[in-house]
Structure 1
Amino acid sequence: MSIAFIAVIAALLYLAAAGLQLASALQHNGSLSRSLIVIAIFALGCHAFLTWHNIYGHEGVNFGFFRIFSLIFLCINCVCLLALTKRPLQNLLVILFPLSAVGILISTLGPDTGAREHKVPLGVAAHVGSSVVAYSILTLAAIQAALLAAQDAQLKRRQMGGLLGVLPPLQLMESMLFELIWVGFVALTLSIGTGVLFMQDIFAQHLVHKTVLSIAAWILFAVLLWGRHWLGWRSQTAVRLTVSGSTVLMLAFLGSKLVLELVLEKS
Structure 2
Amino acid sequence: MSTVLLSAVALVAYLIATASVLLRIFHPAGPHFKTTFSAAIIGIVLHMLALTSLLFTGDGQNFSLLNVISLVCWLITVAITLIALRTPTILLLPVVYGFACLTQLATLIMPHGIQMQHFEQHISLLAHIFLAFIAYAVLIMAMLYSLQVSYISNKLKQKDFTAVSRHMPPLVYAEKLQFRLLLTGTILLGLALLTGALFMDNWLAKANLHKNVLSFIAFIIFALLCWGHARKGWRGRTANMLTISGSLLLTLAYFGSRFVREVLLDKL
Query: Shift in Å at residue 21 of structure 1?
Result: 2.4
Between the aligned residues of both structures, percent identity stands at 29
* d(CA) in 2 for partners of 1:197, 1:72: 24
* d(CA) in 2 for partners of 1:56, 1:248: 29
- The structure-2 alpha-carbon separation of the partners of 1:209 and 1:47, relative to structure 1 and needing over 3 Å to count, comes to same
**Kept after mapping to 2: 8 A contact 1:32/1:90:** no
2:149 matched residue in structure 1: 148
2:264 paired with 1:248? no
- The structure-2 alpha-carbon separation of the partners of 1:174 and 1:118, relative to structure 1 and needing over 3 Å to count, comes to closer
Equivalent residues in 2 for 1:74-85, closer than 5 Å: 74-85=74-85
Q: Which amino acid in the other structure matches residue 34 of structure 1?
A: K
1:27 matched residue in structure 2: 27
* d(CA) in 1 for partners of 2:36, 2:99: 17
- TM-score, with length taken from structure 2: 0.90
Q: Which amino acid in the other structure matches residue 172 of structure 2?
A: Q
Q: Which amino acid in the other structure matches residue 46 of structure 2?
A: C
1:37 matched residue in structure 2: 37
* d(CA) in 2 for partners of 1:164, 1:174: 17
- TM-score, with length taken from structure 1: 0.91
1:72 matched residue in structure 2: 72
Query: Shift in Å at residue 247 of structure 1?
Result: 0.7
Q: Unmatched 5+ residue regions in structure 2?
A: none
**Kept after mapping to 2: 8 A contact 1:18/1:93:** yes
The secondary structure found in structure 2 opposite 1:190 is: helix
* d(CA) in 2 for partners of 1:104, 1:130: 24
Which deviates more from structure 2 when the two are superposed, residues 18-27 or residues 190-199?
18-27
2:48 matched residue in structure 1: 48
1:193 matched residue in structure 2: 194
Query: Shift in Å at residue 227 of structure 1?
Result: 0.5
The secondary structure found in structure 2 opposite 1:61 is: strand
The secondary structure found in structure 2 opposite 1:206 is: helix
**Kept after mapping to 2: 8 A contact 1:123/1:198:** yes
* d(CA) in 1 for partners of 2:236, 2:104: 34
Which deviates more from structure 2 when the two are superposed, residues 114-123 or residues 213-222?
114-123
- The structure-2 alpha-carbon separation of the partners of 1:134 and 1:12, relative to structure 1 and needing over 3 Å to count, comes to same
Q: Unmatched 5+ residue regions in structure 1?
A: none
| Greater RCO structure (CA 8 Å; 6+ sep) | 1
1:237 matched residue in structure 2: 238
Q: Which amino acid in the other structure matches residue 240 of structure 1?
A: M
Query: Shift in Å at residue 182 of structure 1?
Result: 1.6
1:207 matched residue in structure 2: 208
Which deviates more from structure 2 when the two are superposed, residues 34-43 or residues 174-183?
34-43
**Kept after mapping to 1: 8 A contact 2:152/2:164:** yes
2:140 matched residue in structure 1: 139
* d(CA) in 2 for partners of 1:216, 1:225: 14
Equivalent residues in 2 for 1:156-235, closer than 5 Å: 156-163=157-164, 167-235=168-236
The number of aligned residues is 266
- The structure-2 alpha-carbon separation of the partners of 1:217 and 1:165, relative to structure 1 and needing over 3 Å to count, comes to same
Query: Shift in Å at residue 166 of structure 1?
Result: 5.3
- The structure-2 alpha-carbon separation of the partners of 1:99 and 1:246, relative to structure 1 and needing over 3 Å to count, comes to same
* d(CA) in 2 for partners of 1:182, 1:114: 34
Query: Shift in Å at residue 27 of structure 1?
Result: 1.6
Q: Which amino acid in the other structure matches residue 127 of structure 2?
A: A
**Kept after mapping to 1: 8 A contact 2:25/2:90:** no
* d(CA) in 1 for partners of 2:54, 2:167: 37
* d(CA) in 1 for partners of 2:29, 2:204: 50
The secondary structure found in structure 1 opposite 2:161 is: coil
The secondary structure found in structure 2 opposite 1:161 is: helix
The secondary structure found in structure 2 opposite 1:207 is: helix
RMSD (Å) for aligned C-alpha atoms: 2.2
* d(CA) in 2 for partners of 1:127, 1:89: 30
**Kept after mapping to 2: 8 A contact 1:214/1:252:** yes
2:114 paired with 1:111? no
**Kept after mapping to 2: 8 A contact 1:126/1:194:** yes
Query: Shift in Å at residue 86 of structure 1?
Result: 4.5
* d(CA) in 2 for partners of 1:37, 1:193: 38
Which deviates more from structure 2 when the two are superposed, residues 42-51 or residues 57-66?
57-66
* d(CA) in 1 for partners of 2:85, 2:99: 22
* d(CA) in 1 for partners of 2:152, 2:53: 40
